[in-house]
Amino acid sequence: MKCKLNERNVEVERGTRAGTVANIHCPGADLIILNGCPVPPETLLSEGDALVCIRRGVAPTPEELDILLAARHTPGVHEKLKKAVVGIAGCGGLGSNVALALARVGIGRLVLADFDLVEPSNLNRQQYYIDQLGMPKVEALKSTIARINPVVRIDVWGEKLVPATVASVFAGVDVLVEAFDRADQKAMLVEAAMKAFPDKPLVLGSGMAGWGGNDRLHTRISGNMTVCGDETSEAIPGRGLMAPRVGIVAHMQANRVMEILLGPDEGLGPELVTGRFDETC
Amino acid sequence: MLKVNGEPLKYTKDMTVSDVIRAKKFSFPLLIVKIDGVYIARETYDVTPVPDGSTLDIIHLISGG
């Protein structure tokens, strides 16, 4: 029967175990991932299975990396995401987190826009490091992404976005993520994007200051526009922006981008009805 | 009758987007308005009629990110 080992077709006999195939094709492998999930070596293989074998502690070649990196993805996801282009307007608390999440799932190309430099007050929620202080955010983020997934292509725009440049910089993206801090900039982006490309999916973040209140964070979809956040908690004097809540909203945005690109995940488990935990587990 | 952010709102004759915003007492300065999923430009709120029976999504844009 036909199976895939590290994305290459292999012919295996029925009744073959995962560990046997790993030993033949990938000696020394100590981590076997079957269809996105780690399995013990004695697991029996079925027709069409996708197997990834990894030697822990050994640096892969760039060709191997693309396959190994996606080993825990749901099968089929990686191929689709590799073809996608996502624009991120603003590389602060939202944008830097969205960019890294999408880089980790292997988005084909990211278009990053931000005119700012990394400074110390960014480090409480943004994906930058001490040794990047003073660097343009887009350059710092580009170098961090290269350390995670060098296969992702990165385009950067290091000037302040205005309506005309929104229209040109993001013309080729499949989905645009609004990731600004200031409300007037968010409005500028939405207005410019809706005029330049009214049909392009747009994912906004609005309302994420403070802490706690997990259950108030939501996703609202209206036509091609999605808003993530609580839509009420503004960053004002006395109510700051901190890593957990901003990071949650950023990952809600990245998660929604995946949903737009891939369609709904039919493989999600059943929705849990609070108070009836025993019946669903 | 209109549906605004999932809640019913009584329709009045010749209602505009600005009338809906006033009726809902929305005070946030930066709003995004969509009527049946279609984006309405800010400068047209005073003159854009809201058809009876339509669904409006009004999104508040607030600072933080």
Q: What order do you get walking across the sheet with A109-113 strand by strand?
A: A153-157, A109-113, A85-89, A175-178, A202-205, A225-229, A218-222
**Per-residue pLDDT for A60 more than 60?**
yes
Do A44 and A87 sit in the same domain of this protein? no
pTM (predicted TM-score)? 0.92
Asked whether residue A127 falls in the same domain as residue A222, the answer is yes
Domain boundary among A32, A61, A90: A61
d(CA B54, nearest CA chain A) in Å: 13
Residue A267 forms part of a structural domain: no
CB pairs under 8 A between A and B: 85
Predicted local distance difference test score (pLDDT) of residue B40: 95
Residue A109 lies in a domain: yes
- What is the rounded average pLDDT of the residues B45-52? 96
How sure is the predictor about A277, in pLDDT bands with cuts at 50, 70 and 90? Answer: low
Percent with pLDDT over 70 in chain A = 97
pLDDT digits (tens, 9 = 90+) for B8-41: 999 999 999 999 999 999 987 899 999 998 999 9
> Is the domain of A126 the same as that of A253?
yes
Q: Does pLDDT of B58 surpass 80?
A: yes
**A54 and A193 housed in the same domain:** no
Q: Where are the alpha helices (DSSP H) in chain B?
A: 17-23
Residue A98 shares a structural domain with residue A42:
no
Q: What is the pLDDT of residue A64?
A: 83
Task: Tell me, yes or no, whether A281 lies in a domain.
Answer: no
State whether A50 and A133 are in the same domain. Answer: no
Q: Which pLDDT tens digit goes with each residue over A209-259?
A: 999 999 999 999 999 999 999 999 999 999 999 999 999 999 999 999 999
Mean pLDDT calculated for residue range A66-90: 93
- Establish how many alpha carbons lie within 13 A of residue A129's alpha carbon, considering only the half-sphere containing its beta carbon: 8
Task: Please indicate, yes or no, whether residues A53 and A192 belong to a single structural domain of this protein.
Answer: no
User: What integer best gives the mean pLDDT of chain A?
Assistant: 94
How many helices (H) and strands (E) would you count in chain B? 1, 5
Query: Which one of A91, A206, A249 would you mutate to disrupt binding with B, by most B Cβ within 10 Å of its Cβ?
Result: A206
Question: For the residues A85-114, what does the mean pLDDT come to?
Answer: 98
pLDDT, one tens digit per residue, over A148-187 is 999 999 999 999 999 999 999 999 999 999 999 999 999 9
The kind and range of the H/E element at A190 are helix A183-196
Within a domain: residue A228? yes
Contact check, Cβ <8 Å, A93/B65: yes
A66 lies in some domain: no
b/e map of A239-258 (b: 16 or more CB within 10 Å)?
ebbebebbbbbbbbbbbbbb
CATH of the domain at A122: 3.40.50.720
Dump pLDDT digits (tens) for A4-39.
998 889 999 999 999 999 999 888 898 999 999 999
Q: Quick check: A204 and B61 CB within 8 A?
A: yes
Q: Judge if A162 and A90 occupy the same domain.
A: yes
pLDDT of residue A279 exceeding 80, the answer is no
Binned at pLDDT 50, 70 and 90, residue A61 comes out as confident
- Domain with A108, as residue range(s), is 78-262
Residue A277 lies in a domain: no
Q: Which of the four pLDDT bands, split at 50, 70 and 90, describes residue A278?
A: low
Q: Same structural domain for residues A129 and A20?
A: no
Total structural domains within chain A:
2
Which residues on neighbouring strands pair with residue A112, listed in sequence order? A88, A156
Q: Which DSSP state fits A53?
A: E
Q: What is the CATH number of the domain that holds A46?
A: 3.10.20.30
Contacts of B7 (CB under 8 A, 6+ apart): none
What was the pLDDT predicted at A131?
A: 98
Q: Is residue A273 part of a domain?
A: no
pLDDT on residue A280: 47
Residues 28-57, chain B, touching A (beta carbon < 8 A):
29-30, 32, 34, 37-39, 41-42, 57
Residues A245 and A163 in one domain: yes
- One domain, residues A20 and A109: no
pLDDT band at A96 (very low <50, low <70, confident <90, very high): very high
**Do A245 and A137 sit in the same domain of this protein?**
yes
Question: Is residue A114 in some structural domain?
Answer: yes
